[in-house]
A and B are shown apart, each in its own frame.
Chain A
Amino acid sequence: MRILIVEDEHNLSQQLVRHMTDTGLVVDAAQDGEEGLYYGREYDYDAAVIDLGLPKLNGIDLIKKLRAEGHGFPVLILTAREHWEDKVAGLEAGADDYLTKPFHMEELQARLNALIRRAAGYSSPLLTANGLSLDTGKKEVRLDSRLVELTAFEYKVLEYLMLNPNRVISKTELTDHMYDQDYDRDSNVIEVFVGRLRKKLAREDEAVLIRTVRGQGYRFTTDT
């Protein structure tokens, strides 16, 4: 999962990056609205956390611009402004949720997860398809009630594929959402992870959950 954080307060920004990286997310942090807009345009994010009082370009205008340019990733407003006028303006500009400072990191994380799931069309923290269930809270995967042991990266790949069901995901896109910008894109690590995942998720009825679309990427199918 790749998350964009736009927060001008350096300490808070660092704290957010550290916390989110610890939970296995790929995080980009922008210090002002313009930098946030640049990142938003440049990368395809799974969600963004945006402060309202930002230098150069304020949070509301940033959200409006991103939305106007067709970027639909969920946005959570993180603001010190208590006023409903600001919250409503943010939500109307295109944000999906808001959290006022001071806040608990766990609450932010829970809200962010809920937004990402909601954007993928799941309303509960449990993603299920074809007997496969992925608990985004506990970070557990079960196949026909049997617990499947996955490494952190395997889990991330599967979670991303399940959050984008029936869509072809290119290796580049998968890489972008798994790793930081400076990752070597030519590596065949993704292929290795997908290969291992397929083995671990092999079912007796031989239904294939992750399909390879030749020359394009992978697709998680829910219609086997």
Chain B
Amino acid sequence: MKLGLQKRLIIITTLLLGCFLGITGWVLDRSFTSSVEAGAQEQLRLVVYGLMGIAEESGDQLVFPELLPEPRLSQPESGLYAAVQNADGQVIWSSPSLLTSEIDLLAFSQKVVPGTFLFEQHGKQFDLKYSVIWEAANESLFSFRVMTDSLPFRAEIKEFRRNLTIGLVAATVLFVFGQFVAVGWGLRPIRLMENQVRELEAGTRKRLGVDFPPELQGLAANLDRFVEHEENNRTRYRVAMEDLAHSLKTPLAVVGNELQGSGSANHELMQEQLNQMQNTVRYQLSRASSAKSSLITGKVALSPIITRMVSAISKAYANKHMEVEVDIDSTLGVRVNESDLMEILGNLIENAFKYGKSRIRIEGLLLTQQNYAGDSAQVLLSIEDDGPGIKPAMREAVLTRGTRADTVTAGQGIGLSVVADLLAVYGGTLDIHSGESGGAIMSVQFPV
């Protein structure tokens, strides 16, 4: 199944947000670390300049007074250390703070080009080295090294990272929440349209609303036009069929009745031909109507429509005093156009009234089946009467056009074939069985 619009939007924006915040965090972290290290380097550089300022020449050596420019150089374990090495790498002076520390100066005695600074980090120290050719001391080469504990700087970076993380996480949470709200709000018109289309399908709504944003207005208007066009077509078609029915059937009735009283020599032949014409007109018109089923079919509740039809048909068959038992769950419904459903039910219920003796039983069930394609549900409707029933050999014949199973009541024998044709349009089926009493059971299956 394809991902929903909302999920798509949320997934893509969350991925983009993740990348954006990751890169932002990395850049901010790098910038801050660099700026902290640059600050440390600057501090050490000032100490180097201070030491160079107080250094005095003694032959080709340098000597330093006791009072140093940076008091921390004089305090043991102060975290700021300094030393001066000669060209051979020998330490000719070191700050009192270095005396008690375990820093091994020679471990990192890399040569530096005179006049340039080298900033490095060794273990827990930042180390700045500067080499200089001292003119007044017989142009001897001296390396000034100043080191400071990196811990305070690291702590500063750590603190920054913590704040950055908290900030970014908070921003992420806020953004994701905001995104849900924004996507929900942005997609609301689509959801609204989806609901309205569903209502349209269910038949509880005639048209889509007008309250859509400009991007969807065109689509909504087109859908409305389509539905209206479909309805108009159906109505026009139906009216045309009715007019045609009226204009054909009434003259047929007149001719038929006239023929009956005429006593003509060819009476039987003409009556037979006329009956054939009548059957063809009835059958073709019913078929034409059933072939034009609506695209938009809502779910129609079975129970109320069956109750309605039973009550109407009982009126026409009042003298038969039929006992009708209807057992259908009120929630049972089928996706069949209401007027087609009335056509199906009307023919079946009327047959039961026509051929039944005293009892009719109408039962509706929801059948769920499991097969390789998953669960499928069907509505099974059975209409049973206690009449003579339909012999197995006749069953197929009554489902095909123009066959009449019995001559108990005059009829053109096309009712059941119209039912079968209509059901076929909706993917349903009609089966004929025998009940315990020998009467007919008409079983209709509607797909759900």
Contact surface of A with B, Cβ cutoff 8 Å: 9, 11-12, 15, 19, 53, 80-85, 87-88, 91-92, 95-98, 100-105, 107, 114, 118, 123
Q: A80-B245, A88-B312, A91-B316 are in contact. Are A12 and B250 (CB under 8 A)?
A: yes
B residues 234-279 in Cβ contact with A at 8 Å? 242, 245-246, 248-254, 256-258, 260-261, 278
Q: B410, A9: Cβ atoms under 8 Å?
A: no
A10 CB, nearest partner CB in chain B, Å: 10
Q: B342, A88: Cβ atoms under 8 Å?
A: yes
In the complex, which residue of chain A has the Cβ closest to the Cβ of B243? A53
Q: A87, B410: Cβ atoms under 8 Å?
A: no
Contact partners of B289 in chain A: CB under 8 A: 82-83
Complex alpha-carbon distance, A109 and B216, angstroms = 61
Q: A104, B256: Cβ atoms under 8 Å?
A: yes
Does chain A have a CB within 8 A of B201? no
Contact partners of B110 in chain A: CB under 8 A: none
The 3 closest A-B pairs by CB, nearest first: A84-B346, A102-B253, A91-B312
Q: A97, B316: Cβ atoms under 8 Å?
A: yes
Q: Would you mind naming 5 contact pairs between A and B with Cβ atoms under 8 Å apart?
A: A80-B242, A84-B309, A84-B342, A88-B342, A98-B316
Q: B254, A12: Cβ atoms under 8 Å?
A: yes
B411 CB, nearest partner CB in chain A, Å: 10
Does chain A have a CB within 8 A of B100? no
B302 CB, nearest partner CB in chain A, Å: 15
7 more CB-based (< 8 A) A-B contacts, given A9-B250, A84-B347, A102-B253? A9-B254, A11-B251, A12-B253, A15-B258, A83-B342, A91-B316, A105-B260
Complex alpha-carbon distance, A19 and B347, angstroms = 30
Contact partners of B260 in chain A: CB under 8 A: 104-105
Q: A82, B285: Cβ atoms under 8 Å?
A: yes
B residues 183-218 in Cβ contact with A at 8 Å? none
Q: A84-B309, A84-B347, A91-B312 are in contact. Are A123 and B257 (CB under 8 A)?
A: no
In the complex, which residue of chain A has the Cβ closest to the Cβ of B319? A123
Please tell me the number of chain B residues within 8 Å of chain A, measured between CB atoms: 37
A68 CB, nearest partner CB in chain B, Å: 18
Contact of A81 among B245, B252, B253, B315 (CB under 8 A): B245
B residues 51-75 in Cβ contact with A at 8 Å? none
Does chain A have a CB within 8 A of B369? no
Q: B319, A15: Cβ atoms under 8 Å?
A: no
In the complex, which residue of chain A has the Cβ closest to the Cβ of B315? A91
Q: B286, A82: Cβ atoms under 8 Å?
A: yes
In the complex, which residue of chain B has the Cβ closest to the Cβ of A88? B312
Complex alpha-carbon distance, A96 and B278, angstroms = 25
In the complex, which residue of chain A has the Cβ closest to the Cβ of B285? A82
Q: B249, A101: Cβ atoms under 8 Å?
A: yes
Contact of A84 among B251, B318, B343 (CB under 8 A): B343
Contact partners of B242 in chain A: CB under 8 A: 53, 80-81
Does chain A have a CB within 8 A of B404? no
Complex alpha-carbon distance, A91 and B311, angstroms = 9
Q: A81-B242, A104-B410, A123-B319 are in contact. Are A88 and B250 (CB under 8 A)?
A: no
Contact of B315 among A83, A96, A114 (CB under 8 A): A96
Contact partners of A102 in chain B: CB under 8 A: 249-250, 252-253, 256, 278
In the complex, which residue of chain B has the Cβ closest to the Cβ of A105? B257
Contact partners of A15 in chain B: CB under 8 A: 254, 257-258
Q: B254, A96: Cβ atoms under 8 Å?
A: no
B373 CB, nearest partner CB in chain A, Å: 34
Contact partners of A88 in chain B: CB under 8 A: 308-309, 312, 342, 346
Contact partners of A118 in chain B: CB under 8 A: 318-319
Complex alpha-carbon distance, A85 and B340, angstroms = 9
Contact partners of B278 in chain A: CB under 8 A: 102
B301 CB, nearest partner CB in chain A, Å: 16
B235 CB, nearest partner CB in chain A, Å: 13
B residues 349-389 in Cβ contact with A at 8 Å? none
Contact partners of B347 in chain A: CB under 8 A: 84
In the complex, which residue of chain A has the Cβ closest to the Cβ of B314? A91
In the complex, which residue of chain A has the Cβ closest to the Cβ of B251? A11
Contact of A80 among B246, B315, B342 (CB under 8 A): B246
Q: B249, A114: Cβ atoms under 8 Å?
A: no
Complex alpha-carbon distance, A9 and B243, angstroms = 13
Complex alpha-carbon distance, A102 and B274, angstroms = 10
Does chain A have a CB within 8 A of B331? no
Does chain A have a CB within 8 A of B345? yes
B374 CB, nearest partner CB in chain A, Å: 35
Complex alpha-carbon distance, A9 and B289, angstroms = 24
Q: A80-B245, A80-B246, A84-B345 are in contact. Are A103 and B316 (CB under 8 A)?
A: no
Contact partners of B338 in chain A: CB under 8 A: 85
B410 CB, nearest partner CB in chain A, Å: 6
Does chain A have a CB within 8 A of B282? yes
Does chain A have a CB within 8 A of B116? no
A101 CB, nearest partner CB in chain B, Å: 4
Does chain A have a CB within 8 A of B330? no
Complex alpha-carbon distance, A87 and B338, angstroms = 14
Complex alpha-carbon distance, A91 and B285, angstroms = 22
Does chain A have a CB within 8 A of B407? no
Contact partners of B256 in chain A: CB under 8 A: 102, 104
Complex alpha-carbon distance, A118 and B285, angstroms = 34
Q: A82, B316: Cβ atoms under 8 Å?
A: no
Contact partners of A85 in chain B: CB under 8 A: 338-339, 342-343
Digitize B271-307: 1 where CB-to-A-CB distance is under 8 Å, 0 elsewhere: 0000000100010011001000000000000000000
Contact partners of B257 in chain A: CB under 8 A: 12, 15, 19, 104-105
B425 CB, nearest partner CB in chain A, Å: 15
Complex alpha-carbon distance, A123 and B321, angstroms = 10
A213 CB, nearest partner CB in chain B, Å: 31
Contact partners of A9 in chain B: CB under 8 A: 250, 254
Q: B410, A107: Cβ atoms under 8 Å?
A: yes
Q: B339, A83: Cβ atoms under 8 Å?
A: yes
Complex alpha-carbon distance, A71 and B345, angstroms = 31
In the complex, which residue of chain B has the Cβ closest to the Cβ of A10? B254
